[in-house]
Amino acid sequence: MPAPLDAIVVGAGPAGLSAALTVAGLGRSIALLAPDRPADERTTALLAGSEALFRRLGVWQDILAASAPLRQIRIVDASTGLIRAPEALFRAEEIGLDAFGYNLPNRQLGAILDRAVAATAIRRLDDKATGFTAGETGAKVETAASGALVAPLIVAADGRFSPARAAAGIETREWRYDQSALVVNFRHTRDHEDTSNEFHTRHGPFTTVPLGERRSSLVWVTRPREADRLRKLPDAVLADEMERMSDGILGAIELAGARQVFPLSGMTATPLAARRTVLVGESGHVLPPIGAQGLNLGLRDVAALPEIFDGDDPGAPAMMERYDRLRRADVQNRTTFVDALNGSLLGGSLVGQIARAGGLALVERVGFLRRALMREGLAAV
């Protein structure tokens, strides 16, 4: 007979797998409900706080071997406005780091975490949750094929449409952007020099991120109709458009993978824990793919989980309040930051152009402001 469970983790994305490993690392008994993941061609730049988490989980060396360092960030104002900002280059060495982060394909990150879970006593079930209930002394998760699971706590890592969140009665605020992101990996003839290039256009950022030797990933945020047009172009034609958008900085381009298009939206849940259910990752917040904040924010949720396991009942109301208090400010601050950054690119007024250009010029020229901005972007609070 299986040992009594201390927590049930629902979801097998990077946030869910990391949550299961984190709680199991506390010596707790875990069940992980992990149906198959959909195909995902995206990549993730793991920032400093995420590196610290993965070091604790013992998987950082595997991640490092599969990823490319991000040592510089170049920002180019490609908005074609009357007032344009000067080009800015941020170097990780300025704040004492070897790299701002490390970029790798999501599927490789998932595979690394899968292997780590398989090496533990975590009870992994390739099954789907069909119902959730919570009471004064415990929570129950009904499954499609494995019967009912009972534990004091549910860790909901089941995505933006989280059934676990809905069952806990947690409300959300949602919004949509008139933007979509085209995602594709590619090869190029010039060295990227460990540099991420962000070309800020009137419709969103065109961002290339190092992915290996003369390989990079692209996130091209633009209007939905334009993203759909780009998705349908022949490979050679899309490669030419990418080369033009990047000012040829990476040389000739050749696509190296399938394309995906994602509509941009945002969501925050309030509270982030209730009725023996804590939200991690996109069950609690959704951000546009700007500034590498999305998954890194979810991994900071994971890093907070040990704080609710210092007593006998991790699902008690006091623990739910503690988790919400620990995570609320960070989620709100990052959501506001990403939304404001995206909005600054879309603003077409002359006043907005002047403010954006002046702000970037000030940051580029004043060292302590530039370093403060870099540290804030990497903060693991």
Is 372's pLDDT higher than 70? no
Residue 140's DSSP bridge partners are 133, 150
Residues 6+ apart with CB under 8 A from 237: none
Confidence at residue 84, expressed as pLDDT on a 0 to 100 scale: 55
Confidence at residue 78, expressed as pLDDT on a 0 to 100 scale: 77
Confidence at residue 339, expressed as pLDDT on a 0 to 100 scale: 79
What confidence tens digit (pLDDT) does each residue in 137-195 have? 899 999 999 999 999 999 999 999 999 999 999 999 999 999 999 999 999 999 999 99
What confidence tens digit (pLDDT) does each residue in 102-149 have? 999 999 999 999 999 999 999 999 999 999 999 888 999 999 999 999
Residue 201's DSSP bridge partners are 204
Residue 80's DSSP bridge partners are none
Query: Mean pLDDT for the chain?
Result: 87
The pair of three-digit structure tokens given for residue 261, joined into one six-digit string: 């298009």
Nearest alpha carbon to residue 89 among 104, 100, 73, 109? 73
Structure confidence at residue 334 as a pLDDT band (50, 70, 90): confident
Please state the domain extents for the chain.
Answer: 7-45+107-174+267-345
Please report how the helices 14-24 and 294-304 are oriented relative to each other, as an axis angle in degrees rounded to 10.
20
Residues 6+ apart with CB under 8 A from 252: 188, 189, 239, 243
**CA gap 84, 78 in Å, rounded:** 8
Q: Which amino acid is at 16?
A: G
The answer, yes or no, to whether the previous bond of 271 is cis (omega within 30 of 0) is: yes
Q: Where is pLDDT greater, at 120 or 349?
A: 120
**CA gap 204, 221 in Å, rounded:** 5
In this structure, the number of other CB atoms found within 10 A of the CB of residue 342 comes to 20
Question: pTM of the entire structure?
Answer: 0.89
Pick the CATH number of 7-45+107-174+267-345 from 3.10.20.30, 3.40.50.300, 3.50.50.60, 3.40.50.2000: 3.50.50.60
Q: What percent of the chain has pLDDT over 70?
A: 86
3-state secondary structure of 28: coil
- Angle value at C-alpha 126, between 123 and 130, nearest 5 degrees: 100
